[in-house]
Amino acid sequence: MPEINDLRSFISALEELGDVQRFSREVDPNLEASAITRRSTENGRPAPFFEHLTGADEGFRMVGAPGALSSVPGHSLARISLALGLPYTTTAAELVERLSEVDLQELIPPRRVSAESAPCKENILLGEKAGLGRFPIPFVHQDDGGPYVNTWGVLIARTPDGRWTNWAITRVMKIDDQHMTGLVLPSQHVGMIWREWEAIGKPMPYALVQGGHPGVGVVGGMTVPTEVDEGSFLGAILGKPVDVVKCETNDLEVPVSAEVVIEGHLSATRDAVEGPFAEFHGWALPETSPQPLFTIDAITYRNDPIWPLAAAGRPVDDSHVAPAAGISAEVVAVLRNAGLPVTTVWLPLGAACFWTVITVPSNWRDLMPGMDTPQLAHQIGEVLSTTRVGRLSPVVYVFDDDVDPSNDSDLLWAVATRVHPSLRQEQWHGKIMPWYPCFTEEELHNGWGAVVVHDGLLPAEGHGRAPSATFEGVFPAELRAKVLAAEAESADDADSNASR
């Protein structure tokens, strides 16, 4: 498998795994590419790669669902794992553990290189020539407010004093060839940075990056802690710096292997109307909002650029996988730093990341003497309620670690048989995110609601705790060994007959 350092080598690696489907016929970026991408994600197919796009210059291409679940049997997280420099066989628990291990004190900042060695500078458009018309900007859903320039790229912004640079996936809509608008929410990092520019009455420089190292989009979709630079965070995951180059018209730096870079500035006022856009919660809500105006000052791009496309909607697609991994890892770190025993955390993808599922080790009572299940669940809720990441899911479940929270069968069984319909739960009231339609309109308007923590922990051994009625749980060890030996012998016979 080739070394992965840009979107092209990433696609090649996926192709080796049989996880890319090439479309040699002409495909229209106006809805058709997104419709095919939605079919791909909804049916577990390989990532669609469109080689000929209606209305775009010859050579311009598009890849759908680069951050969605993989079609490789038994390895659904192959795309996101490879993007982060991990084996394609990485499990959810292994992925979360690796991300939670990143030491925020030992981040690896990006490394600036010369423009001469940067593929993203192969073509440079400045001023009036820097228009979106030549690019295959996708119209993603039929009721969207317009074509969406950004669905799986990162918006790069920096505070006026230069202390914090943020790479974030945020949706950006085309208005005309040289203007865009996008969600700049106060609760999100790009909104926090924009507010500082708004406060001094100056436009905010930005760079909108499509493609590049595949890990760029993944960390851009995560919830890296506030004031931590995603570029340095990605470097720590990869174990080496991400190479960047200075923009043409501002001082921001972008990944050298980016496919397309759009440079410009955001107005210090909310002058444009953004939306609607079907979102990760699975609903095409008819919502619009006033947002800053993005003016384009320059565009640079590689020869024969590849535009990444994520067709957000009902789970599971790109808008769920990276956030689930990132939030899960941060919750693990927060709880462990508070001295609480945690095996793993996962935001179930099929629940659109609305749930956080926490598992604790079987010996947690030994680690925390004298504590019972309500007390442990209460402490978990108390820690989560005081952190931004702990309030990103409205519902939290706490289970023993005989449950794999990334296995939907395990999870449904645990929720159905271990969670009391009305008892063993606590509500923690506080700030809530504005994108959860499960809350009332009043709660969403006020930005205030409850996160509910459900205690699904089992009783201690010998206190009414029944064995799991599984192959491992209710059959004698000798009989299990006999069954497994017979299976192995049968498999060997089948292989021998097949080779004759």
Structure tokens at 110: 């990006």
Residue 333, domain member (yes or no): no
DSSP string spanning 244-273? EEE-SSSS-EEETTEEEEEEEEE-SS--EE
In this predicted model, what pLDDT tens digit does every residue of 431-469 receive, in sequence order? 988 878 899 999 998 999 999 999 999 998 877 777 788
Q: What is the CATH number of the domain that holds 234?
A: 2.30.110.10
- Compute the average pLDDT of residues 167-183: 97
CB distance 323 to 297 below 8 Å: no
Torsion-angle region of 369 (φ positive above 0: left; ψ -120 to 50: alpha; else: beta) = beta
pLDDT at 146: 97
| Spatial CA neighbour of 358 closest among 383, 339, 385, 331 | 331
Q: How many CA atoms lie within 13 A of 257 on its CB side?
A: 17
CB crowding 262-299: b at 16 or more within 10 Å, else e: bbbbbbbebebebbbbbbbbbebeeeeeebbbbbbbbb
Domain count within the chain: 3
In this predicted model, what pLDDT tens digit does every residue of 194-213 receive, in sequence order? 999 999 999 999 999 999 99
Q: What's the CA gap between 40 and 117, in Å, rounded?
A: 36
Residue 151, domain member (yes or no): yes
Residue 166, domain member (yes or no): yes
- Predicted confidence band of residue 160 (pLDDT cuts 50, 70, 90): very high
Q: Are residues 64 and 134 both part of a single domain?
A: yes
Burial of 30 (0-12, 13-18, 19+ CB in 10 A): middle
Would you say residue 282 has pLDDT above 70?
yes
Residue 325, domain member (yes or no): no
- Compute the average pLDDT of residues 268-285: 94
Q: Are residues 417 and 474 both part of a single domain?
A: no
The domain in which residue 436 lies consists of 338-455
Would you say residue 117 has pLDDT above 90?
no
Would you say residue 1 has pLDDT above 70?
no
| Spatial CA neighbour of 363 closest among 395, 329, 401 | 401
| pTM of the model as a whole | 0.92
Q: Are residues 496 and 420 both part of a single domain?
A: no
Q: Are residues 451 and 477 both part of a single domain?
A: no
Q: Are residues 300 and 413 both part of a single domain?
A: no
- Please measure the distance between the N-terminal and C-terminal CA atoms of the chain and give it in whole angstroms: 32
In this predicted model, what pLDDT tens digit does every residue of 209-253 receive, in sequence order? 999 999 999 999 998 999 999 999 999 999 999 999 999 999 999
pLDDT at 401: 96
Q: Are residues 481 and 389 both part of a single domain?
A: no
Q: What's the CA gap between 210 and 150, in Å, rounded?
A: 8
pLDDT at 223: 86
For 314, phi then psi, to 5°, come to: -60, 140
97 included as an active-site residue? no
Average pLDDT of the chain to the nearest whole number: 95
Q: Are residues 242 and 127 both part of a single domain?
A: yes
- Compute the average pLDDT of residues 349-378: 95
Which residues on adjacent β-strands are paired with residue 166? 157
Would you say residue 15 has pLDDT above 90?
yes
In this predicted model, what pLDDT tens digit does every residue of 379-438 receive, in sequence order? 999 999 999 999 999 999 999 999 999 999 999 999 999 999 999 999 999 998 887 889
Q: Which residue has the tokens 């308007």?
A: 445
pLDDT at 21: 98
Would you say residue 140 has pLDDT above 90?
yes
Catalytic residue among 274, 279, 330, 426: 279
pLDDT at 408: 95
Sign of CA dihedral 210, 257, 238, 165: negative
Other Cβ atoms within 10 Å of 342 Cβ, number: 21
pLDDT at 500: 62
- Compute the average pLDDT of residues 466-493: 89
Would you say residue 371 has pLDDT above 90?
yes
Residue 143, domain member (yes or no): yes
Structure tokens at 289: 């909002």
- Predicted confidence band of residue 474 (pLDDT cuts 50, 70, 90): confident
Q: What's the CA gap between 73 and 44, in Å, rounded?
A: 10
pLDDT at 466: 78
Q: What's the CA gap between 392 and 350, in Å, rounded?
A: 16
Q: Which residue has the tokens 């108390």?
A: 382
CB distance 165 to 157 below 8 Å: yes
In this predicted model, what pLDDT tens digit does every residue of 71-89 receive, in sequence order? 999 999 999 999 999 999 9
Q: Are residues 12 and 50 both part of a single domain?
A: yes
Would you say residue 348 has pLDDT above 90?
yes
Of 309, 324, 358, the residue at which a domain comes to its end is 309
Residue 459 is given by DSSP the state P
Residue 316, domain member (yes or no): no
pLDDT at 498: 67
pLDDT at 241: 97
Q: What is the CATH number of the domain that holds 400?
A: 3.40.1670.10
Would you say residue 12 has pLDDT above 90?
yes
pLDDT at 455: 97
Q: What's the CA gap between 47 and 67, in Å, rounded?
A: 9
In this predicted model, what pLDDT tens digit does every residue of 34-60 receive, in sequence order? 999 999 999 999 999 999 999 999 899
Q: Are residues 167 and 252 both part of a single domain?
A: yes
CB distance 371 to 365 below 8 Å: yes
Residue 327, domain member (yes or no): no
For 19, phi then psi, to 5°, come to: -110, 25
Q: Are residues 303 and 347 both part of a single domain?
A: no
Q: Are residues 283 and 361 both part of a single domain?
A: no
pLDDT at 96: 97
Q: Are residues 407 and 448 both part of a single domain?
A: yes
Residue 320, domain member (yes or no): no
Q: What percent of the chain has pLDDT over 70?
A: 98
pLDDT at 456: 97
